[in-house]
Amino acid sequence: MITIEGLQKHYGDIKAVDGIDLEIQDGEIFGLLGPNGAGKTTMISMISGVLRPDSGRITFDGQNIWVEPKKVKRNLGVVPQEIAVYEDLTAKDNLDFWGSLHGLRGPGLKKAVHEALERVGLQDRARDRVKTFSGGMKRRLNLCMGLLHHPQYLLLDEPTVGIDPQARLAILDIVREVAAAGTTVLYTTHYMEEAQELCDRIAIIDHGQILTIGTLEALTRQSGESEMLKVVGNFDEASANQRLSGISGLRLIRVEAGAVLAGIDASGPGLLEILPQVLESGLSIDDVSIQKPNLQSVFISLTGRELRD
């Protein structure tokens, strides 16, 4: 189990990570979901022992990574957001070098490299220079380097950023296979659909703080809405507040000129009763869209903005 207690990291007045407590259970895929700049990479850097926290404690099955770094890192795989490969070397040469850093030698190293390349579908490109690879292939090799020594814990920081959908699906399948074999995975992403499809539990992080933690089912229940309503039109903020705030069962989350985000209270009158009142409110409305509860609605409910904002 990975245990994080009171983790903090500040850069001047900026609180990159602000007092985070977290437990990640053995064998689970734990998702850390948040926008760019939320503190995800800073957290991964501290958990992996690259960046020293200002305060707090990080343990792996009771072993503190800052007290017993060699013991912990022997069982830890890290895949950084930035692709960390030597492009003038072949895929095999990259893995031979990386495996040697983990103490792999001789037949053991050869077997580990072969299995790792086969797992990520790069066996036929083993002797090609990495500079000839596509972005998706480089991402798979980057993942391969983190898996080479069969770690007990795997930290993945935005491993699919900037690649095509097919390569993304391939990486997600590999992560599922690794977790199914018993590896504990901490997965950071700002892609809502990845967290929904992949993770056993999810923590939503913003401005260096964890806003909520739970399974997808628990988080969607937590939002308290049955649907989310987005209203777009030619109206000002004051008019929208005045005309919509009195509608029972409608919770205004974000109101601005030309756009309103609102939640339909799950215990209230319901969409069929509320929607006509919105349409007849007197606002000049061009479009109304309805969304079922999901991680996006949870994030909006907690922060008042969409993940991409």
How far, in Å, CA of 302 to CA of 171, rounded? Answer: 30
User: Which CATH number covers residue 275?
Assistant: 3.30.70.2470
Domain region containing 127: 2-219
Q: Report the predicted TM-score, pTM, of the whole model to 2 decimal places.
A: 0.81
Residue of 5, 28, 3, 29 lying closest to 17 (CA atoms):
5
CB-CB neighbours of 156 under 10 Å:
26
- E strands, 54-207, where? 55-60, 63-64, 76-79, 153-157, 184-189, 201-206
Q: Which of 162, 196, 219 is the last residue of a domain?
A: 219
Q: What is the radius of gyration, based on Cα positions, of the chain?
A: 23
Do 151 and 96 reside in the same domain of the chain? yes
Q: Print pLDDT tens along the chain (309 aa).
A: 999 999 999 999 999 999 999 999 999 999 999 888 889 999 999 999 999 999 999 999 999 999 999 899 999 999 998 899 999 999 999 999 999 988 899 999 999 999 999 988 899 999 999 999 998 899 999 999 999 999 999 999 999 988 888 888 888 999 999 999 999 999 998 888 888 889 999 999 989 999 999 998 888 777 666 688 999 999 999 999 999 999 999 989 889 999 998 888 878 888 899 999 999 999 999 999 988 777 877 777 777 666 654
How far, in Å, CA of 41 to CA of 29, rounded? Answer: 17
Cβ neighbours of residue 158 under 8 Å, at least 6 residues apart?
A: 40, 41, 81, 188, 189, 190
- Give a yes or no: residue 148 inside a domain: yes
Tell me the C-alpha to C-alpha distance, in Å, between residue 186 and each of 25, 78, 104, 166, 276.
10, 10, 24, 22, 44
Q: Are strands 201-206 and 29-33 parallel, antiparallel or unpaired?
A: parallel
- Give a yes or no: residue 302 inside a domain: no
Do 55 and 164 reside in the same domain of the chain? yes
Do 110 and 165 reside in the same domain of the chain? yes
Contact 270, 198 (CB under 8 A): no
Do 109 and 231 reside in the same domain of the chain? no
How far, in Å, CA of 232 to CA of 188, rounded? Answer: 32
Cβ neighbours of residue 284 under 8 Å, at least 6 residues apart?
A: 233, 234, 235
Q: For the chain, what is the domain count? A: 2
Do 54 and 168 reside in the same domain of the chain? yes
User: Which CATH number covers residue 199?
Assistant: 3.40.50.300
Do 71 and 146 reside in the same domain of the chain? yes
Q: Which of 190, 219, 248 is the last residue of a domain?
A: 219
Do 119 and 240 reside in the same domain of the chain? no
